Structure 1
């Protein structure tokens, strides 16, 4: 996916989940943060950040800029929480992201209801197999190891347990982690931040839910799925 009109700035502070204050050529500006997660290891004072400038296409927006990416050491990390689903859709429809035990997809429908949940995608392949896929964006890394989540996620836990139920009913089921950076050695569940989610993910894997991860090529104005990353549960 592509962004338009990218501006480089420096992070100053984050007064709340939705707003950051950055410096653009020495001027302090309030910008929208496209990720409500903590991101404390990313948004540190002085960090170089990248903003999408909506000048000329504001519509109902209140702030001109949205913060979409940040430099962390030698990494460029996309932290747009809306990006993973778009990346997944592009990868699934193009055939770049392949799913174990399914042939080429013949149908991909977003935001479909199952039980008490709404999964990111309902999928069907050319062989007639039907399944459900939930996408999780990953921005947390330490020493080249990506992990999820960066904070407790009741919603994520609910989705994993619903996928376990769907699998027991004969559907093909997947948790797809979109790692919003490049160069990770592997992905693992974050036991320290959410042991309940981690335990449920391991149980899902044991019950036949496929847990897969793909990294991304990240540029200030673009992010696309690149290669599969090993998952260590």
Structure 2
């Protein structure tokens, strides 16, 4: 996945979950934040960030905040649209007969439906941007939607689908993702039930470039 044009800036503050103030070349700009999560451990005053410049002159904000340089760790892509894009690229490089995004199943829309021969697959994708001591955690805020999707996958697995929840690790150097039970205990409990039912937990390790994000390794986490 490649961004159109990346510029560097310095984070100032975030008045709400949709916008932030960022200094670019000495000028304070209001930018769109491509992640509605809290990201409080990432978006600290003075932190170096990367922004994608839009080519849409009618937009209210010219830039999208897509990555942040976490002190002592490195660059973290925090674009919430990126995980599905890189997973789509990854899946298209495999030998599935059919791939469909936003697949309607039960009361939910699951990110990916795949078919290979007579085997049907369902995959829900989550982006991981929260890191503590070299370990990734999800979610960074309570996610009732995430719990709902896990329950749908658990039901589907029991009906014969091959189901998985995939965590796209939007940073380098992290090879494990744990449920953030301090923030949302129910997500951790539901994930455990799903795994016991046979739902796989897949980790996608990524390479984070200045203007790219690419999956370089897939791992099934026990």
Q: Normalising to structure 2: TM-score of the pair? A: 0.96
Unpaired segments ≥5 residues, structure 2: none
* Residues 22-171 of structure 1 aligned to structure 2 (within 5 Å): 22-54=22-54, 57-58=55-56, 60-73=58-71, 74-95=73-94, 104-125=95-116, 127-171=117-161
Q: Deviations over 1:62-99 (max 9, x none)?
A: 1100000000023210000000001110011112xxxx
Q: Secondary structure at the match of 2:146?
A: helix
Inter-CA distance 229–26: structure 2 relative to 1 (3 Å threshold): farther
| Match among 159, 171, 192 for residue 182 of structure 2 | 192
The runs of 5 or more residues in structure 1 that have no matched partner are 96-103
Match of residue 15 from structure 1: 15
For normalisation by structure 1, the TM-score amounts to 0.92
Equivalent residue for 2:206, pick from 185, 205, 216: 216
Q: For the structure 1 residues 167 and 60, does the alpha-carbon distance in structure 2 shift closer, same or farther, using more than 3 Å as the test?
A: farther
**Partners of 1:188 and 1:231 within 8 A in 2:** no
Partner SS for 1:111: strand
Deviation at 1:61, TM superposition (A): 2.1
**Who is 2:194 aligned against?**
204
Indicate if the aligned counterparts of 2:201 and 2:220 stay in contact, CA closer than 8 A.
no
Q: How much has 1:4 moved relative to structure 2?
A: 1.4
Distance in 2, Cα, partners of 1:172 & 1:160: 13
Structure 1 residue 148 displacement after superposition: 0.4
Offset, 1:186: 1.3
- Cα displacement (A) at 1:231: 3.4
1:173-208 alpha-carbon deviations (Å, 9 max, x no partner): 110110101101411111101110111001100110
Q: Is the contact made by 1:212 and 1:231 (CA closer than 8 Å) also made in structure 2?
A: yes
Query: How far apart are 1:222 and its partner, in Å?
Result: 0.4
Instruction: Give the Cα separation in 1 of the matches to 2:210 and 2:188.
Output: 31
The number of aligned residues is 221
- Between 29-38 and 182-191, report the one with greater CA deviation: 182-191
